[in-house]
Amino acid sequence: MSSTDEMYQSVIIEHDRSPRNFRVLEHPSHHAEGSNPLCGDRVSVDLQVDADGRITDVAFQGSGCAISRASASMMTTVLKGKTTAEAQELFERFHALMMTGTTAEPKELGKLVAFQGVAAFPMRVKCATLPWHAVNEALRPKA
């Protein structure tokens, strides 16, 4: 294993052991839940979005494997302060990374590139993308 792979693995382990924003968000403006029936992972995502479309707070709850918890934790830290359009863009970039295992602009994903190796394991891709799909659903305009 390369030193880069080890660093990325340690980032995932750290976010699993000490997840950021793992809490209930009082009075969220947006909410969605997601589950992966194949492995039992479940996530609930709450966001506070201001009138300008900026995510001012985000939190998650749920249970699941280290990959899904770390992904949710890292996702919440990167989404705070972003606009909903920027959040959608990050979703698309992260999803592309998970589907292909590569990204044209790794710096734009920052530490999320730690999940690059997960792409080699299709069953784990669902774990990593679960919280992102929940946020994407939460931010989808309601009819």
The CATH number that applies at residue 119 is 3.90.1010.10
Q: What is the mean pLDDT of residues 121-130?
A: 92
For 102, the domain range is 3-139
- Each residue's pLDDT tens digit, 41-82: 999 999 999 999 999 999 999 999 999 999 999 999 999 999
> Residue 4 above 60 pLDDT?
no
- Chain centroid to Cα 23, Å, comes to 15
CB neighbours (10 Å) of residue 103?
Answer: 17
Residue 25 is classified by DSSP as P
Tell me the CA end-to-end span of the chain in Å, nearest whole number.
48
Cα dihedral sign, 22-43-91-46: negative
What domain count does the chain have? 1
pLDDT for position 73: 98
- Each residue's pLDDT tens digit, 88-123: 999 999 999 999 888 767 778 888 998 988 888 888
